[in-house]
Structure 1
Amino acid sequence: MSFVYDQKVVDSMYGSHVVSMAVDYGVDLVKMWPLQTNQELENDVKYAENLQVMFSGMMTQVLLKRSEEVDQSVAEAVYEGMDVLPGVDPEIIRTLMDANHAYDVMASYHGVDGIELFMETARILGIDVETRIEKEIQDLMENLSRTMRSASGFEVDDDVAENVGICQSATVDRNEFARRYLASMTVLDALINLMCYGTDDSQEQAIRVLPVLLFVNAMRNQLSIPPTFINAEQLINLFGLRDTARQFGRPQSVFDSSFNPLTFSTTVKYLAFFAGQEWLRHMRFLEWDPKQAEQDAKDEDERKSREALAKKYNLTSDGDNAASDADLDSSADSNLSEDSDSSEEAGSEPTEE
């Protein structure tokens, strides 16, 4: 078995400020379950759909080596089933369709037999995996249940672990959450090392780790850890950091051990920040209230309208040259009426601050 993680290295990440902040956001998010209202349930469905749209757009950008992001509305249309869009390059549409297919395939992972889904996902995305690398990935996944349970402090005999996979109930214990998250990062690092073996170009590396990102999110779902996301630029930047970190250690073959303490530590510190961002975004999706959002938008329009009127009439603090309140109210009502469409639009979906 080539995947043997170093628990001391994993434990050292508990002291990282960025990991600590991310874990705080993650625990706050998990505390919201079970969801209490129909609105929260609807919001969670919207979040899951939005996450897949984001992933499909990111994967398409990476696969096509585009410098610019795929238009969100195009990614949404393809997610909803459109296969022809006026003015959109058919190659983008085909790649978005493949990305969604790969996402759906990996979403069926339930903690066992991950190698079949992983290889199927790679095939859909047009990624070749040489036989000896596939064998190393298979060995890793065959021991995944034991590794995840050991790393997260959950004891179970090997026969049971083989049958039940890695499924674990949700936890709001901060230390337990951190153990599970960091355990998942050991697998992420190992799979990146394996998939990028023999590849130096950062864009090619980004392509080859797309199945890894999908698999680790599916694995985290089994650990009751919410999913994470990074965009294409952030993903490509990761490889420069990993390559720099690797230069400080002795050369290590993935066939000796696919866990690398240097790349692991660098990857955790970098990706934990984006994990925290995504968990905060997920919380905001769940907390979104469309009625309150509409009212907030109207209040903001009214505030801007009053500020504009005050500037127009050159109002002063002592009331000199000031228009009457009645005049201001009348003018504000007129302006708000003209801006009603924008208010309704602003309250239509969750937004980030």
Structure 2
Amino acid sequence: MTFELNDDVVARVAALPSVREAAVAGARLVALWPLTEAMHMDNDAKYAENLQVRVTRAFARIVTGEDVTVPDAEYVYEGADSIPGRPQRIVDALLAANDAYDAMSGFSESGDATLVDEAAESLGVAWNDAASVRVHEVLESVEAAVNDGAFDEGAYAVPSGEGLSADGSAPADDAFRPSDALAEALAHRFAVALIVCDALLDAVADGDAPSSNDAVRAALPLLLVVNELREQIAVPRIFLGDDQIRGLLDVRAKAADPAGVSEGTTVDAVAAYIAPLAAAEWAKHREDVLWDPALAKKKAKEEDEKRNKEALAAKFAHVKDDPNKETVEL
């Protein structure tokens, strides 16, 4: 059956408390754009690089089943094709994950569904013909909606710079609270990405245990393409670690199984699982963009001085003032 976005389902998912809460975090992040300060743009570029390192490390841990370290992932991201003292299979898995990540990066601009095949090939994932057809049907349906301008108006339309704040504060302020209109738009767009993610995972589910290595690997190219879809429809990318990817497949399988412990549809399970992770990632992204090394150094110094004063006060807390002590004028 051809996949189609259902407005009623989108609205229902967008109204879920966890999705709305995540949308507020996402709105706090996207309200910063367009970035104008060089420091913020540099910080955002570093975040993007770090995100690729984190994602490729998680993928390599799944592919190899080994403890792939952050330095491993950083070395390969920076161009290494071997690491002294580390198994070559780890390096090869990281190289493949980076190839897949790079291949998929063009999707947010082109919407070319064939890029998911390139990513799958890089990761050594071979879906059966029926699964591949379903994956393409889902992606092509969503791209048709994008090209038809479905996200340019109505519930999906992201407000202009005016009225982004609910309280008059600037987007970079710590206490910034986004307007209801901006949060609502993010919730609808985020809901679309969650529904597409669920549909893609369903497309490649073939009866294997969700925690099996084949099932988990089959999902990896899909997580990449959904992240790029988020970027395409103005929703920030997210991150799932290797354990979180397995957890996502587990909770979805339980929701699909009448004997499972989860209740509701699979998309509800996907939304409930991913939304808190997205909220945390978007809060981290915003913090990373706004990070000011000089201010951070100043705050750290102030905290150290405060702790030192508290420690000194505690050390001499037992010493009582002598009421007969002569007052000395300075």
> Which of 173, 178, 186 is residue 177 of structure 1 equivalent to?
186
How many residue pairs get aligned? The number is 295
- Give the aligned partner of residue 293 of structure 1: 296
Instruction: Determine helix, strand or coil for the equivalent of 2:84.
Output: coil
Letter in 2 for 1:202: S
- 1:192 pairs with 2:201: yes
Superposed CA deviations along residues 163-216 of structure 1, whole A, max 9, x for unmatched, are xxxxx9786622222111111212111111112223224143221111011101
Task: Output the amino acid matched with 2:9.
Answer: V
Aligned residues of 2:73 and 2:94 also touching (Cα < 8 A)? yes
Amino acid at match of 2:254: T
Tell me, yes or no, if the aligned pair for 2:107 and 2:113 is still in contact at 8 Å.
Answer: no
Q: In the alignment, which residue of structure 2 is the partner of 1:266?
A: 269
Question: Quick one: which amino acid aligns to residue 283 of structure 1?
Answer: R
- Counterpart in 2 of 1:237? 247
Q: Distance in 2 between matches of 1:170 and 1:228?
A: 22
Deviation track 1:223-270 (CA, whole Å, cap 9, x = no partner) reads 111101111111111222112111239xxxxxxxxxxx8111110111
**Alpha carbons of structure 1 residues 98 and 141: separation in structure 2 relative to 1, 3 Å:** same
Q: What does 1:135-174 align with in structure 2 at a 5 Å threshold?
A: 135-148=133-146, 154=152, 173-174=182-183
Q: Which runs of no fewer than 5 residues in structure 2 stay unpaired? A: 165-181, 323-330
Q: Which runs of 5+ in 1 are unaligned?
A: 157-167, 250-260, 321-353
Could you tell me whether the CA contact under 8 Å between 2:19 and 2:191 is conserved in 1? no
* Contact residue 76 and residue 95 of structure 2 kept, 8 A: yes
Quote how far apart the aligned CAs of 1:144 are: 1.8
1:284 is matched with 287
What's the secondary structure of 1:57's corresponding residue?
A: helix
Q: 1:181/1:41 Cα in 2 relative to 1: closer, same or farther (>3 Å)? A: same
Query: How high is the TM-score relative to the length of structure 2?
Result: 0.81
Q: Separation in 2 of the partners of 1:190 and 1:21?
A: 23
Q: Distance in 2 between matches of 1:270 and 1:179?
A: 17
1:56-108 CA-to-partner distances (Å, cap 9, x unmatched) read 11111111123x4x221221111111222222221111111111111011001
Cα deviation, 1:263-297, whole Å, max 9, x if unaligned, reads: 11110111011111111000000110011112222
8 A Cα contact 2:111 2:143, kept in partner: no
Give 3-state SS (helix, strand or coil) of 1:34's partner: coil
The answer to whether the Cα contact below 8 Å between 2:60 and 2:90 also exists between their aligned partners in 1 is yes
3-state secondary structure, aligned to 1:199: coil
Once the two structures are TM-superposed, the CA of residue 4 in structure 1 deviates from its matched residue by 3.2
**Residue pairs, 1:331-342, within 5 angstroms:** none
8 Å contact kept, 1:170–1:223: no
Report the alpha carbon displacement of residue 309 of structure 1 after superposing the two structures with TM: 4.7
Letter in 2 for 1:282: H
